[in-house]
Amino acid sequence: MIEPVQLPAPWRDARLTVVVPTYNEAGNLPVLVERLLALPLPGLKVLVADDNSPDGTGEVADKLAIEHPDRVEVVHRAGKEGLGRAYVDGIGRALDGGAEYVAQMDADLSHPPEALPGMLGALLSTRAGVVIGSRYVPGGELDEAWPLYRRALSGWANLYVHTLLRVRIRDLTAGFKIWRADALRDIGLDRVQSNGYSFQVEMHYLATKLGHTILEVPIRFEERRDGISKMTTATKIESALMPFMLRTRHRNIHR
C-alpha cells in the first residue's frame, strides 16, 4: 500500500466526492470506505450508487452512511442498469451537492485509494480537466495475479479504440480518475449514452472533442480481492460497437 501524498492547504480541503458504483460488493465496500475516509483529505465524501445488489451491498452502504453521516451518501437505484447509468446518476448528484471535483473508482479494491491525493494534486497544479490513474504510462503496473486473458483483452481494447477514435490516451478504458466539476458540466452528462464499461471511453472521447486537457499518472492496478468481475458478453459487444457509434453520435461536438 502506497503512502498518500500530503497536500498543502487549501488543496487538501477541496470538496471532492468519490462516486463508487456497486453491485454485489458487500465484502469490499467497508474496506474501501475505511481507506477513503482515512486519507488526509477532510473535504472528501463518498457517494455509493448501488444497483439493488442482491448480496446486501445497499444495506452495508446504509450502515456506513449512518456511521459517517456527513461523509457517506447512498443512492439506491432500482436495478442493474449498467456501470454507465450508475455513474451518470452518481456524478450528477455529486455536482448537485456542490462537489468541486468528482472522482470515479471501482468498489473492488483494484484502484488504490491512497493514490487520490496525488491525483488531486496533479489536477490542481495543472490546467487538466481530468487526471487518470493509468495502468499503461511509465511507472504504471498491473497486479501479477491479473489473469492473462484480462491483460490481453484490456490491451486489445485500448489499441482498438485508439485506432478508431484517435484519442491520445494510453489507458482509454481506465475507470480511476478525478474530474473538475466545470469539465463535467461542459461535457454534459445528458450527452452520455453508454451503459457498460464503454462509458469510460465515451467520457474520454467527449473530453477530447471539447478540448479538455487529459493527464495520466501511473498507478498499480490490483486484482479484485472479493467477488467476481461484472464483465458480461453483452458488455463486450457494446464496447466493441461503441467506437463506431461515438464517431457518428458526437461528430458535431467541438469547442
Q: Is 2 among the domain residues?
A: no
Please name the residue that has the C-alpha cell 495475479. 145
pLDDT at position 43: 97
Q: Considering its fold, how many domains does the chain have in total? A: 1
Q: Is 4 among the domain residues?
A: no
pLDDT at position 240: 61
Q: Is 1 among the domain residues?
A: no
Residue 19's domain spans which residues?
11-250
Q: Is 66 among the domain residues?
A: yes
Q: Is 186 among the domain residues?
A: yes
The grid coordinates of residue 95 equal 455536482
* pTM of the predicted structure, to 2 decimals: 0.90
Strand-pair partners of 123: none
pLDDT at position 167: 80
Q: Is 174 among the domain residues?
A: yes
CATH number of the domain at 182, please. 3.90.550.10
pLDDT at position 148: 72
State the DSSP code for 109: S
Buried b or exposed e, range 186-213, using 16+ CB within 10 angstroms: ebeeeebbbbbbbbbbbbbbbbbbbebe
Q: Is 5 among the domain residues?
A: no
> Element (H or E) spanning 218, and its range?
strand 214-218
Residue type, 161: V
Q: Is 255 among the domain residues?
A: no
Mean pLDDT by 10 residues, the chain (255 residues): 91 97 96 98 98 97 98 94 91 97 96 97 96 94 72 69 77 94 96 84 91 96 66 56 66 68
